A and B are shown apart, each in its own frame.
Chain A
Amino acid sequence: MEIAVYILLGCGLFINAMSVVGLLRFPDIYTRLHAATKTTTFGSIFIVAAVIVHSILVDDAASLTIIMHSAIALVVVIFTNPISAHAIARAALYFGIKPYGVVINDLSEKQKQARRRKA
C-alpha cells in the first residue's frame, strides 16, 4: 500500500511543476491563467489524496483530524480557485490587455462599451 502514496505524491508534484513551467514560458495573461488555475487545483487533489492514504496507513491519534481538515482545505481550494481566475480574467479584459498575437481584436468594441458603461 505504501507504493500508492509514492505514486499519488509524484503525480501531484509533477502536475504542480507543469503549472510552474507554464507560468514561466507562456506569452500572455490568458494562456497563463489556463496554466495556473487548472493544474494547481488538480495537483492539490493528488497531494491531498496522498496525505489521506498515508494517514490511513499510519493510523495514530492525529490521523482522523488530519484527514478531515485536509479534505476541508481541498474543498476551499476547489471552490475559490475558479472564481478568482474568472475575476482576474475579467479585470485583465477591462484593463485593455490584448491576447498575444492578435491582429484583429474582436473584443475591442466590447471593451470600449464596458468602459463607457462604467464611466
Chain B
Amino acid sequence: MNTLFIVSALLIGSYILLMVIRVAFSHNVPERIVALDTINTLIITLMIVLGVIQRKALYIDIGIVYGIISFIGTLYIARYLIEEKK
C-alpha cells in the first residue's frame, strides 16, 4: 500500500515538471501565472501524499501554510498586473 503512494507522489512530481515547462514556454505574463497557480495546488496535494508516506502530519501542515501564502502571492501578482497597465 505504501508503494502506491510513492508511485502517485512520483506522478504528481512529473506533472509539476510539465507545468514548469509550461511556465518556461508561454507567450505572456497571465498565462505564466495560471501555470504557477496550478503548480501551487499540485504541491499541496504532493505534501499530503508525502505526509501519508512518512506517517507524519507535519508535511500536511507545511502544505496548508504553503497554500495560504501562495494564494496571497497570486492575488498580489494579479493586482500588480492591473496597476502596471494603468
Contact = CB atoms under 8 A, between A and B. Distances in A.
A66 B60 contact: yes
Contact of A9 (B4, B19, B75): B4
Contacts of B55: 60, 62, 66
A47 B15 contact: no
Interface residues of A, number: 55
Interface string B39-83: 001101101110110011100110110011001001101110110
Given A13-B11, A77-B41, A77-B67, A20 B19 contact: yes
Interface residues of B, number: 47
Contact of A5 (B4, B74, B86): B4
A106 B10 CA distance: 44
A84 interface: yes
Secondary structure of the B contact surface, majority rule = helix
Contact of A29 (B30, B57, B64): B30
A88 interface: yes
Interface string B4-21: 110010011001001100
14 contacts: A19-B38, A23-B19, A36-B34, A40-B41, A40-B45, A44-B41, A62-B56, A66-B51, A66-B60, A87-B78, A91-B77, A96-B85, A118-B86, A119-B86
Interface of A: 2, 5-6, 9, 12-13, 16-17, 19-20, 23-24, 28-29, 32-33, 36-37, 40-41, 43-44, 47-48, 51, 54-55, 58, 60, 62, 65-66, 69-70, 72-73, 76-77, 80-81, 83-85, 87-88, 90-92, 94-97, 115, 118-119
Report the 3 A-B pairs with minimum CB-CB distance, sorted nearest first. A91-B78, A80-B71, A87-B78
